[in-house]
């Protein structure tokens, strides 16, 4: 027996021995909660409304008390590339004529699919997306993050011995503004400056690519009897006012171009929804628990008024 064959046998035996521990680790609340991805492992069917998007969508919608069957498929820092792949993979879970809410933030067209930040977030998609949908798919990363995560658990191995009590993240339970009335102006300036300097200005060459992904998503909706609704999420005045008219005109022109191309798509601009209500925001550009409950009800009512969902 050659050394290579013996090595393969030893590896296989090792993996068989580690399998039950790996399965136990994957069942822990701590592991399941990582990166908010557990929700993709048990997606309901016959959904009437879903939303995609980045953290603005993730923190912006809560369908738990809604009178329709909705589901939040957003993830922090998620760009249009993965919005499209997630919609394609889970479209069979949507009811005929379902509404697909497509959040578009000021920075969305400028998010790059490269660099340290992208790599950090890209790994989470190995948990639930088909390999062909993962950008820069790597077989070793598939083993690391999908098949045998316990082997690369690092500090998260602690969940085998002391699990989390709940799957809820801290942000899901916050019903106040972390910066308060005194700190919201400085926080809004800081957040807006970060998005302008570190995403928008450095991502100009990515704009056409990102908007093409959004275009693909809208086209997929229309081709599959789904109703695409582009939506800009609520923003606190402390954040929104940092963006000048030249930038905003370009932003809305890009949206108008898409709406003109796809008459069946609509756009809701909620950037000024309760924009002075500091108590409804977690910071300057993310809603808190109270805010997203109020906002979700507002959007559902608007969809009903326009006949997009049944009364």
Residue 25 lies inside a defined structural domain of this protein: no
- Whether 8 is in a domain gets the answer no
pLDDT computed for residue 292 by the predictor: 96
- Asked whether residue 2 is assigned to any structural domain, the reply reads no
What per-residue confidence (pLDDT) applies to 110? Answer: 95
- Rounded CA-CA distance 126/24 in Å is 19
pLDDT given for residue 34 in this prediction: 80
User: What pLDDT score does 11 carry?
Assistant: 52
Instruction: Give the pLDDT of residue 6.
Output: 57
- The kind and range of the H/E element at 103 are strand 94-103
The pTM score is 0.91
pLDDT at 53: 97
Is residue 34 one of the residues assigned to a domain? no
The pLDDT, as a whole number, for residue 71 is 98
Predicted local distance difference test score (pLDDT) of residue 256: 97
Query: Is 250 a member of any domain?
Result: yes
Note whether 22 and 150 are within 8 A (CB): yes
- CATH of residue 237's domain is 3.40.50.1110
Q: What pLDDT, on a 0 to 100 scale, did the predictor assign at position 29?
A: 83
Please report the pLDDT score of residue 236 as a whole number: 98
| 102: in domain | yes
* Domains identified in the chain, total number: 1
Alpha-carbon gap, residue 17 to 4, rounded angstroms: 20
Angle at Cα 103 formed by Cα 99 and Cα 106, nearest 5°?
160
Range of the domain at 234: 44-141+166-305
The tens place of each residue's pLDDT in the chain, 311 residues long, gives: 576 565 555 555 555 667 788 788 888 888 887 888 989 989 999 999 999 999 999 999 999 988 899 999 999 999 999 999 999 999 999 999 999 999 999 999 999 887 777 888 999 999 999 999 999 999 999 988 988 888 888 888 898 888 877 767 777 889 999 999 999 999 999 999 999 999 999 999 999 999 999 999 999 999 999 999 999 999 999 999 999 999 999 999 999 999 999 989 999 999 999 999 999 999 999 999 999 999 999 999 999 999 988 75
89 occurs within a structural domain: yes
Locus of tokens 């490269």: 114
DSSP of 234-301, one letter per residue?
Answer: P--HHHHTTS-HHHHHHHHHHHHHHHHH-TT-EEEE-TTTTTT-GGGBSSSSSB-HHHHHHHHHHHHH
Domain assignment present for residue 96? The answer is yes
Angle in degrees, 0-180, between the axes of helices 245-261 and 207-223, rounded to the nearest 10: 30
Give the separation between CA 185 and CA 181, rounded to whole angstroms.
Answer: 8
């Amino acid at each position: 027996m050659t050394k290579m064959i013996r090595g393969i046998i030893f590896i296989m035996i090792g993996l068989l021995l580690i399998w039950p521990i790996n399965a136990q680790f994957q069942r822990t609340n701590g592991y399941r909660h990582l990166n908010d991805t557990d929700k993709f492992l048990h997606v309901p069917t016959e959904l009437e409304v879903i939303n995609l998007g980045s953290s603005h969508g993730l923190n912006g919608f809560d369908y738990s008390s809604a009178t329709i069957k909705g589901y939040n498929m957003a993830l922090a820092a998620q760009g249009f590339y993965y919005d499209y792949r997630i919609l394609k993979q889970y479209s069979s879970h949507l009811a005929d004529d379902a509404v697909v809410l497509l959040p578009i933030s000021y920075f969305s067209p400028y998010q790059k699919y490269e660099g340290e930040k992208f790599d950090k977030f890209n790994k989470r998609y190995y948990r639930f997306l088909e390999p062909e949908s993962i950008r820069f798919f790597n077989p070793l990363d598939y083993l690391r993050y999908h098949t045998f995560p316990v082997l690369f658990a690092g500090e998260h191995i602690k969940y085998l011995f002391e699990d989390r009590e709940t799957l809820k993240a801290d942000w899901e339970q916050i019903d106040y503004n972390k910066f308060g009335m005194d700190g919201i102006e400085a926080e809004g300036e800081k957040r807006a400056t970060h998005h302008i300097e570190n995403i928008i200005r450095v991502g100009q060459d990515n704009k056409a690519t990102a908007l093409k992904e959004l275009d693909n998503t809208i086209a997929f909706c229309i081709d599959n009897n789904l109703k695409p609704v582009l939506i800009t999420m609520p923003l606190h005045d402390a954040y929104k006012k940092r963006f000048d008219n030249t930038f905003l005109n370009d932003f809305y022109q890009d949206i108008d171009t898409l709406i003109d191309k796809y008459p069946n798509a609509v756009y809701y601009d909620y950037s000024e929804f309760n924009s002075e209500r500091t108590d409804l925001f977690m910071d300057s550009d993310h809603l808190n628990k109270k805010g997203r409950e109020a906002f979700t009800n507002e959007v559902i009512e608007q969809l009903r008024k326009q006949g997009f969902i049944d009364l």
